[in-house]
Amino acid sequence: MGLTDISSNYKGVLYAMVTALLWGFLPIFLKVSLNDLDPISIVWFRFTFAFSILFIYYFLTDKKQLKIIKRPPLFLVIAALALGVNYLGFMQGINYTSPSNAQITMQTAPILLALVGIFVFKEKVNSKQLLGFGIAGLGLFLFYRNQLQVFIQDTEAFNTGFFWIELGAVMWVLYASLQKKLVLKYPPQLLNMVLYGIPAILYAPFVDFAAFSNLDFSSWMIVIFLGMNTLIAYGCLALAFKYTEAYKVSLIVTVNPIITLLTMAILASINVQWIKTDSLSIYSMLGAVLVIGGAITAVFFSRKNKKVLQKSPISVKK
């Protein structure tokens, strides 16, 4: 490996770390924003903000690329609809449960995508990957069972949130599977522009615009951060896949729930009042470790499919 390759690898790892960091803090800020806005309004703003920035960028630098808006490919439209449901599902999951629950449960998405790769794209599977799937499945069962006991006074809300997150995970897999093909023909950021734009239009009729006029300065900073998070995290993700192997990027990004769990634990220890913190039991923590560990195992031992993965700059999104 030459110096250029090493430098590129470090760049890729750095960009992936930025994505993981942003996604680690994302659910916490999403939960706080629910104090002022409803879930659909928050999702709409994230999509609209990110779309606007990319649209302006292409308008100023390469207007010809904007013709994709007039006649987007059918697969891109379906992927955009799936991503729109994914964002809303994750948002509703946080609304009904907590940032920690949403992050852990959403880790089923990369597992499902790996299974799609095996059964749809005919990628080879090995025994270590199967072990990872099994560990993650056991962890999710353990985590769900014990967190359900924590929400014993409102099990309906927990199950509703769990359903929304799993719906979001399935829709993300549909989006990612289609994106795998689209990214071979179109620039990733151009695809992102359309992927953001279509849900923004569809959610617009259901937005409570009056609520935005009542936001104070700190609340505006939070929703702007959410918009920037969407834009920067995906931008860094695309660059990470450009500079280093996909399996390395996926490994780094998959650990983002750890950032959420640690941050929520710190907030709980200092008794903050601006967010309702949740403390996980030892069995819930064990389940969380198994889910994350299983996902990492499945991704890591898929590196033998490196040639396939390098053509597929996809990782879990919310």
pLDDT per position as a tens digit, 165-188: 999 999 988 988 888 788 889 998
In-domain check, residue 285 = yes
Closest-CA residue to 224 (of 27, 21, 33): 33
How crowded is residue 18: how many other Cβ atoms within 10 Å of its Cβ? 18
Question: What is the domain count for the chain?
Answer: 1
Phi-psi region for residue 156, left (φ > 0), alpha (ψ -120 to 50) or beta?
alpha
pLDDT for the residue numbered 121: 67
> Model-level pTM?
0.85
88 CB contacts (<8 Å, ≥6 apart)?
39, 40, 43, 164, 168, 203
Closest-CA residue to 17 (of 254, 299, 252): 252
CA dihedral (295, 21, 169, 38) positive or negative: positive
In-domain check, residue 57 = yes
Q: Are the CB atoms for 99 and 30 separated by under 8 Å?
A: yes
Q: Are the CB atoms for 197 and 19 separated by under 8 Å?
A: no
Q: Are the CB atoms for 211 and 36 separated by under 8 Å?
A: yes
In-domain check, residue 318 = no
pLDDT for the residue numbered 306: 46
Write out the residue range of the structural domain in which residue 299 sits. Answer: 3-310
pLDDT for the residue numbered 86: 95
CA 112 – CA 131 distance, rounded (Å): 14
CA 112 – CA 68 distance, rounded (Å): 30
- Hey, which bits of 189-300 come out as E strands? none
pLDDT for the residue numbered 313: 44
CA atoms within 13 A on the CB side of 115: 17
DSSP 121: S
DSSP 233: H
Q: Are the CB atoms for 131 and 194 separated by under 8 Å?
A: no
pLDDT for the residue numbered 308: 42
In-domain check, residue 236 = yes
In-domain check, residue 77 = yes
49 CB contacts (<8 Å, ≥6 apart)?
224, 226, 227, 228, 230, 231
In-domain check, residue 90 = yes
Provide the token pair at 76: 């891109």
In-domain check, residue 264 = yes
In-domain check, residue 315 = no
The ranges of the chain with pLDDT < 50 are 305-315
